[in-house]
Amino acid sequence: MRTRKWTLDEQAGFLKRTGELLQRGYPLSEAIESLAYHLPDYRKAAISDSLNDLKEGHPFYRVLTNLKFNPTLIGYVYFAEQHGGLAEAFIDGSAIMERRSKEISSLRKILYYPLFLMSATFILFFFVQQTLLPRFTSLFSSMDLDTNFFTEAVMLAGTLFPIFAVLFVALAAASLLYYSFRFRHLPQMDQKRRLAMLPAAGPLLRLFFTQYFTAQLGYLLGGGLSVSEALLLFQRNPQQPFYSELGESIKIRLRTGEKLDDILSGFAFFQEDLCQIIRHGERNGKLGQELRFYSIHCMEAFEQKVTSGLKIVQPVLFSLIGALVISMYLAVMLPMFHLLNGL
């Protein structure tokens, strides 16, 4: 029987409740065993296998990998097992994923209704453009009457739409080919650098990468590790190739005598002010705390940008739909009035 995939909400909820039980003093295996009683029957077999893996000595992040959990959540667990703050990291990681799930849900709710209206409007548009307007045009020609602006605009839009559709398909195909034969073969850091340069998504991705890196580095430093030891754990992270490559790159440059803040300032996929946070934390001897605080700031800035974008998307879509509906209405009604005046 095929195992059902865990939704993002289920993953975050499972990790959050595990963290809460750990805070109450439960060992990890007992916490998971207790949670299994509250899970649906179709999850219990997978949890039973996970418990067996834990008892055999497998790390928890590998158990979650076998359960096909989100890589970001697995990353939180991986680093938590290194610095020892399992409960806090589990709860923080699950809270972040719950927020992301809510943002995705909000985006879907905002887009569903406008996209449905837009689909219905386009169907009506093609009916008007292909059926009604040609008849009005031929009638105007037989009566030596000029067509109005809205009729011409709708007919022009109907003519241009296939061209734009072909261009869109060609662009999508070119993007797919570029991804398949070029982009996915690039080193992970080059991939993230190029993604961070995208006009709309770039600022959000920079906040996301910065938040995750500073949160995990802050946890590790707060757990008593040195910067070099923390970067070694990044390098050994098998589930996140980007952060593994990043840790190795920073370690190599640190060995040559470069400062951490100077190294990070050269990465286009991080926020520009990260280097200032590093300098401030190194001066006051509280680098781990400063990074943790900065990661919270990045998450809040990320959520604010997403919320602002969502507030813009729906009004823009409704405005486009409204303009198209009004244009079609005028394109149909004005010829009728024109004909009445010509009689």
**pLDDT tens-place string over residues 268-306:** 999 999 999 999 999 988 999 999 999 999 988 998 888
Residue range 134-141: mean pLDDT, rounded = 71
Indicate if the pLDDT at residue 192 is higher than 90: yes
Helix axes 86-127, 149-181, angle to 10 degrees: 140
pLDDT number for residue 190: 95
Indicate if the pLDDT at residue 343 is higher than 60: no
Greater pLDDT, 137 or 307: 307
What does the pLDDT look like over 307-325, one tens digit per residue?
Answer: 888 788 778 888 888 887 8
Residue range 63-71: mean pLDDT, rounded = 88
- Alpha carbon distance, N-terminus to C-terminus of the chain: 74
CA distance 68 to 17: 18
Q: Is 206 helix (H, G, I), strand (E, B) or coil?
A: helix
pLDDT number for residue 42: 83
What does the pLDDT look like over 207-242, one tens digit per residue?
Answer: 999 999 999 899 888 878 889 999 999 998 888 899
Greater pLDDT, 200 or 212: 212
| Range with lowest mean pLDDT among 71-75, 140-144, 295-299 | 140-144
Percent of the chain exceeding pLDDT 70 equals 93
pLDDT number for residue 1: 45
Indicate if the pLDDT at residue 150 is higher than 90: no
Greater pLDDT, 263 or 153: 263
Q: How confident is the model at residue 130 (pLDDT cuts 50, 70, 90)?
A: confident
Mean pLDDT of the chain: 85
Q: Is residue 343 within 8 Å of 153, Cβ to Cβ? A: no
| Range with lowest mean pLDDT among 82-86, 143-147, 333-337 | 143-147
pLDDT number for residue 71: 87
The C-alpha angle with vertex 107 and arms to 101 and 111, in degrees rounded to 5, equals: 150
pLDDT number for residue 207: 94
Residue range 196-212: mean pLDDT, rounded = 92
**Where does 100-221 show beta strands of DSSP type E?**
none
In the structure, how many helices (H) and strands (E) does the chain have?
A: 15, 0
Q: Is 240 helix (H, G, I), strand (E, B) or coil?
A: coil
Report CA-CA distances (Å) from 33 to 44, 85, 301, 304.
Answer: 10, 20, 37, 38
Domain parsing of the chain, residue ranges: 8-69, 97-343
Chain centroid offset of residue 200 CA: 12
Greater pLDDT, 93 or 183: 183
Q: Is residue 69 within 8 Å of 49, Cβ to Cβ? A: no
Q: How confident is the model at residue 76 (pLDDT cuts 50, 70, 90)?
A: confident
Residue indicated by tokens 């007992």:
30
Indicate if the pLDDT at residue 168 is higher than 80: yes
Determine the CATH number of domain 97-343: 1.20.81.30
What does the pLDDT look like over 90-122, one tens digit per residue?
Answer: 888 888 888 878 877 877 777 777 778 878 877
Q: Is residue 111 within 8 Å of 313, Cβ to Cβ? A: yes
Closest to 132 in 3D by CA, of 335, 281, 269: 335
Q: Is residue 170 within 8 Å of 234, Cβ to Cβ? A: no
